[in-house]
Structure 1
Amino acid sequence: MEFFKSDKIYNFMGKRLPFLGFSSLLVIASLVILFTKGLNFGIDFAGGTLVQVQYEQKAPIDKIRDVLNETKYKGSSITEFGTPEEVVIRITNTSPDIANDISDEMHKILDSTGSFEVRRVDMVGPKVGNELREKGLMALGLSLIVILIYVSFRFEWRFAVASILALAHDVTIALGAIALVGVEVNLDILAAILTILGYSLNDTIIVFDRIREGVQTSKESILDKVVNESVSKTLSRTTLTSLTTFFVVVTLYLFGGEIINGFAFTMLVGIIVGTYSSIFIAASFLVQLKFSISDYRAKEAEKLKKQKEKDKLRAMYEQGTV
């Protein structure tokens, strides 16, 4: 299936600077939101206790809040969870005995609020939360380093730097959207961010692979024209892949329930931004880094020459002439 004509070349690089300017504004806005509003860390990273309660009737949130304010759990956050009958109580502190289940205690405290069932209790100590947050950031940083090494080895250092800049662009905007909406950041969101890295990198590598192929086979010596031709050829594939993934994630967001909404929202933002950066931004960074077609072709010719010499020596050795 082709959404775009395979023989038509779109002038992406002609509009490179406007797209880079637009992306810069998005990144700056995201950083401002992150530094001013900050991320809404869940109990996985901030520590605390989460209690999910389901009532037989509509949950009396105000009454629950009043009852809790008369106990040691004063100031707890109570929010509706998916349906009016279900609520989540977030307690910023944890029991000294982390292994102690507070379900029975919650049953006694909330007994006067109606008939209910405690469906879930999650407890994370502040020390464990800090460790999870640090290891999450370490996983993100190591992922970027490994990607940089891999792309440098497979392509050329300018391709690697361009791909890392594109990935940083995607992750920053995704985090800004999470902070703006107030999505609770937990291990699911970290998994979504790492998934975005892989998804965006896959699209970027396909575009770069086609650019490298174009540099080697095309008679063009102007990088902008080679990039336009290469990106245009991958446009239908990128669009089809992105739309397929997008519709699946939209279904998860709409019908997956409250517990998966944060993950699905993060993925939606990541798919949109990742597709946009693969088409308009990653190759633009490559052009901005002054990638030289002539130098690359000379290096490839030198590699080919050395490989032929090795093959010739090996053949002579096998024939007994060396």
Structure 2
Amino acid sequence: MSKLGTLGARLHHGEIGYDFIKNRRIWYGISVLITITAIVGLAVRGLHMGIEFQGGAVFTTPKNMSVSVATAERYAEDASGHDAIVQKLGDGSMRIQVAGIDTGASDRIKDTLAQDLEVDAEQINAELVGPSWGEQIANKAWQGLGIFMVLMVIYLAIAFEWRMAVAAFIALIHDITITVGIYALVGFEVTPGTVIGLLTILGYSLYDTVVVFDSLKEQTKDITKQTRWTYSEVANRSINSTLVRSVNTTVVALLPVAGLLFIGGGVLGAGMLNDISLSLFVGLAAGAYSSIFIATPLVADLKEREPAMKTLKKRVLAKRAHGAARDESQGAPAAADDAYDDEENAPAAVGSRNQSASRDRGRGRSSGRRR
């Protein structure tokens, strides 16, 4: 832990660091490949919408059923003539979903399932879900997403600048696309819990991005008044100074979500936890990635196109070239040029002056009269 703290302090003070901005084309390429894969998976496989969005019936069997999930799924499909989704719950009961059926068909399917599963029909609980309810949930989710995006862009444009707002917007779209695409590839069912998870990750993703943007805004204040760093270099220092904080925050958030996904959904068999935990897990990881590798490099690209930043870059490079040429001609070490830069931008030193050597004359001798 002490080594991690030392590493974080050195990153924060700029003693060490990784050049994220220089390798931004690599990160852009990785993000494009992942996004294309997610879009292809979404187009080919599509989202497996839950019964809340399609309408149908949900049958819950008694506890400690000895029938396997595959067998129960086959019984449900034979009885209904529709595709069925079967989940085994932690208490041994089964949750069987059949979409696109009405009340009359529900009663018939319930009786047939009771015979096939060898249980009393009264022990099977049947619930009907109308598609209008799921449609209302979906519409409200889209409205909430749209309002959030608009308010987010307005806030970032006011608190920071419009370039940061655009970069944050692109990063959020990146996170949502990847999360939805992985949902399609994995084949998990989309439920209202999934929608809640998607809306939740927007806040986490924006939080990581704003942390880096706040550091960048502070470090680029009056950046054109110096000639040591370009905007991209300062942006890279901002990423490195907040890197450990972003990683720690993401890991702490991912641990309980991983418990829900792998232990709650996988080991304990609580299948309904998969709906929200998968979207949270993927979204949190994608949000941390986009805040470091996508949002800030995009801001640097946009800012470097400004005339003032172009002029600053030329001045910085010209000064470095002049310093390198001077070192070669005079044989001075590179550290001397760094010291020169520090003195140029540092305030005048204030302190006591050296005393004249004459004032020390006579000190240490006896002041007595001649003998």
Question: Which interval holds the TM-score relative to the shorter structure?
Answer: 0.7 to 0.9
SS at match of 1:110: helix
Structure 1 contact 59–87 (Cα < 8 Å) conserved: no
Q: Number of residues paired by the alignment? A: 290
State the match for 2:153 in structure 1. Answer: 148
- Aligned-pair distance for 1:279? 1.1
1:305-320 counterparts in 2 under 5 A?
none
Relative to structure 1, the CA distance from residue 163 to residue 74 in structure 2 (aligned partners, 3 Å threshold; closer, same or farther) is same
Relative to structure 1, the CA distance from residue 207 to residue 123 in structure 2 (aligned partners, 3 Å threshold; closer, same or farther) is farther
State the match for 1:126 in structure 2. Answer: 131
Unaligned runs of 5+ in 1: 296-322
Structure 1 contact 149–160 (Cα < 8 Å) conserved: yes
- Aligned-pair distance for 1:56? 3.0
Relative to structure 1, the CA distance from residue 203 to residue 63 in structure 2 (aligned partners, 3 Å threshold; closer, same or farther) is closer
**Alpha-carbon separation, structure 1, partners of 2:144 and 2:277:** 21
Opposite residue 285 of structure 1, the aligned amino acid is: L
1:247-286 counterparts in 2 under 5 A?
247-256=255-264, 257-286=270-299
State the match for 2:97 in structure 1. Answer: 90
Structure 2 length as normaliser, TM-score?
Answer: 0.70
State the match for 1:136 in structure 2. Answer: 141
State the match for 2:329 in structure 1. Answer: none
SS at match of 2:23: helix
State the match for 2:181 in structure 1. Answer: 176
Structure 2 contact 77–84 (Cα < 8 Å) conserved: no
**Alpha-carbon separation, structure 2, partners of 1:264 and 1:56:** 25
Q: For each residue in 1:206-250, what CA deviation from the matched residue of structure 2 results, as whole angstroms up to 9, or x when unmatched? A: 100100001016645511111111111101111111111111111
SS at match of 2:178: helix
Opposite residue 290 of structure 1, the aligned amino acid is: K
Structure 1 contact 242–271 (Cα < 8 Å) conserved: yes
Opposite residue 197 of structure 1, the aligned amino acid is: L
Task: Report the more deviating stretch, 160-169 or 208-217.
Answer: 208-217
Relative to structure 1, the CA distance from residue 119 to residue 275 in structure 2 (aligned partners, 3 Å threshold; closer, same or farther) is farther
- Aligned-pair distance for 1:287? 1.9
Structure 1 length as normaliser, TM-score?
Answer: 0.80
For the pair 1:205 / 2:210, whether they are aligned, the reply is: yes
Q: For each residue in 1:91-145, what CA deviation from the matched residue of structure 2 results, as whole angstroms up to 9, or x when unmatched? A: 2124359xxxx6x876644333234785865532123322322222222222211
Unaligned runs of 5+ in 2: 265-269, 310-371
More strand by share: 1
Q: Which has the higher contact order (CA 8 A, sep 6+)?
A: 1
Task: Report the more deviating stretch, 121-130 or 245-254.
Answer: 121-130
State the match for 1:303 in structure 2. Answer: none
Relative to structure 1, the CA distance from residue 121 to residue 149 in structure 2 (aligned partners, 3 Å threshold; closer, same or farther) is farther
Opposite residue 57 of structure 1, the aligned amino acid is: M
Relative to structure 1, the CA distance from residue 61 to residue 215 in structure 2 (aligned partners, 3 Å threshold; closer, same or farther) is closer
Opposite residue 19 of structure 1, the aligned amino acid is: W
Opposite residue 225 of structure 1, the aligned amino acid is: E
Q: Runs ≥4 in structure 1, deviation > 6 angstroms? A: none
Q: Percent sequence identity over matched residues?
A: 30
Structure 1 contact 10–232 (Cα < 8 Å) conserved: yes
State the match for 2:44 in structure 1. Answer: 36
- Aligned-pair distance for 1:157? 0.6
**Alpha-carbon separation, structure 1, partners of 2:222 and 2:103:** 67
- Aligned-pair distance for 1:17? 0.6
State the match for 1:25 in structure 2. Answer: 33
Relative to structure 1, the CA distance from residue 91 to residue 24 in structure 2 (aligned partners, 3 Å threshold; closer, same or farther) is same
For the pair 1:243 / 2:247, whether they are aligned, the reply is: no
Relative to structure 1, the CA distance from residue 120 to residue 231 in structure 2 (aligned partners, 3 Å threshold; closer, same or farther) is farther
State the match for 2:118 in structure 1. Answer: 114
**Higher gyration radius (CA):** 2
Q: For each residue in 1:283-316, what CA deviation from the matched residue of structure 2 results, as whole angstroms up to 9, or x when unmatched? A: 0111222354947xxxxxxxxxxxxxxxxxxxxx
Relative to structure 1, the CA distance from residue 122 to residue 143 in structure 2 (aligned partners, 3 Å threshold; closer, same or farther) is farther
State the match for 1:167 in structure 2. Answer: 172
**Alpha-carbon separation, structure 1, partners of 2:140 and 2:129:** 15
**Alpha-carbon separation, structure 1, partners of 2:124 and 2:147:** 37
Opposite residue 26 of structure 2, the aligned amino acid is: P
Tell me the C-alpha RMSD between the 2 structures. Answer: 2.8
Find the partner of 2:20 among 12, 19, 28.
Answer: 12
State the match for 1:311 in structure 2. Answer: none
